[in-house]
Amino acid sequence: MTTPNIDQANSAAVERMMSARPILTGVATARDVIPGMKDNLLLHAGPPIEWEQMSGPMRGAVIGGLIFEGMAKDEAVAVSMLKAGEIEFSPCHEHGSVGPMAGITTASMKVYVVENITHGNKAFSNLNEGYGKVLRYGAYSQEVIEKLRWMNNVVGPLLADALEAIENGIDIRALLAESLHMGDEGHNRNKAGSTLFAAKLAPLIAQLAKEKSVAAEVLQFLGNNALSVLNPVMAACKAMADAGHGVEGSTVMTVMARNGTELGIRVSGLGAHWFTGPVGQPDGLYFPGFTADDASGDIGDSTITETVGIGGFAMAAAPAIVTFVSGTPHDAINATLEMYEITVAEHEHFTIPALDFRGTPTGVDIRKVVELGITPRINTGIAHRDAGVGQVGAGLVRPPMNVFEEALVAYAEKYGFA
């Protein structure tokens, strides 16, 4: 067996991540486009998990997903189906897909379709529901389900028409590069990106909506949601990360995701295996009336942003975010500087004006994480621990060290050294 040159393999993996050009080309129904999607399957955030182990918000979102699909008329029916094992679960990540927070994606849901035109792979993400009581934070009241249906029946098809009318789609890497120059970090702060996204779609939505009032409602929905672009951004990041996966000998992390109970990572040179450990509790700022006691464990696939060099890794681009996640602008700069320690490259397309346009730290090398004892920084929303409540704050968290250690052991076993 030849010894792989690890640094070369890592450079190749990160070069593929950075040269991936993710284009948002459409909106389609999950069962029609997501590989392996089927009617009794629910995709969820993070590594594999079954009903019994799920946290409150994940359970709430699962119940809501079944009600949304018309498979259960209420919570009681949903829970009995779940206990009877009638529903299958699979990680979004195992289907080229990603979802924020609980990440529950069902067969009938409309999803964004992103194509990496450099390497040909595709990725998917559901639509963003905005704020308040939302499925992704585990809420499943009638109001939540009705909003999801409106999104599926009105917003999704109109976005599909608008995207079809845009020649060559929307280049999400370019949109992210621009929004990093406008105070976004692309994970927890997407105000600039979402506004650019809404403004770009607005003429098409106005033109293509069947009725003016529908155009107005959809534009209001997009315009009032500073996270509207998060989901296409996540799909774009998934397309970039997947491009870097599967490079023989590479120790670059290509997946980092949380299901509310466990965080899991995958590594470019280590195939489909998940390395998992218990999720952390985000440290951050809570909305009025809530404290850390209300918080669920860390949850969501949105750490795909950090995986490709933005989010918590690009905090220096977004000093205003500290009013939302805690800390000072100086801490934000330091967060980014620290991540250079454990990454392979500086991003060719994502740059930080405040750091003299230095590229964001990109491609976590699990060797460096273990060697330096520095885990990746994650910039995240915080869900309430109980199903059905919703978001209670936002803050910062890190993955457990054991996942990197175990991955490195597996690497040594596979390649004979590390």
Question: What residue ranges bind a copy of itself (CB under 8 A)?
Answer: 181-184, 191-192, 195-196, 198-200, 202-207, 209, 212-213, 215-217, 219-220, 222-223, 319-320, 322, 328-330, 353-357
The residue among 81 and 206 lying less far from a copy of itself, judged by its C-beta, is: 206
The residue among 232 and 319 lying less far from a copy of itself, judged by its C-beta, is: 319
The residue among 17 and 198 lying less far from a copy of itself, judged by its C-beta, is: 198
The residue among 317 and 339 lying less far from a copy of itself, judged by its C-beta, is: 317
Tokens of 407: 């991955």
Order of strands, edge to edge, in the sheet holding 283-286? 283-286, 391-397, 378-383
Residue in 140, 141, 188 with CA at minimum distance from that of residue 306? 188
Q: Residue 348 CA to chain centroid, in angstroms?
A: 21
Q: How far apart are CB 359 and a copy of itself at their closest, in Å?
A: 14
The residue among 272 and 320 lying less far from a copy of itself, judged by its C-beta, is: 320
Give SS3 for 307: helix
Q: How far apart are CB 333 and a copy of itself at their closest, in Å?
A: 9
- For residues 367 and 318, what is the distance between their CA atoms, to the nearest angstrom? 28
* Side chain identity at residue 404, one-letter code: F
DSSP 331-375: HHHHHHHHHHTTEEEEEEEEEEGGGTTEEEEEEEBHHHHHHHT-P
The residue among 354 and 374 lying less far from a copy of itself, judged by its C-beta, is: 354
The residue to which tokens 């910039």 are assigned: 379
Q: How far apart are CB 307 and a copy of itself at their closest, in Å?
A: 25
Q: How far apart are CB 98 and a copy of itself at their closest, in Å?
A: 25
The residue to which tokens 């620290």 are assigned: 338
Q: How far apart are CB 125 and a copy of itself at their closest, in Å?
A: 21
Q: Which helix (H) or strand (E) holds 306?
A: helix 304-307
The residue to which tokens 């950075």 are assigned: 18
Give SS3 for 412: helix
Q: How far apart are CB 221 and a copy of itself at their closest, in Å?
A: 9
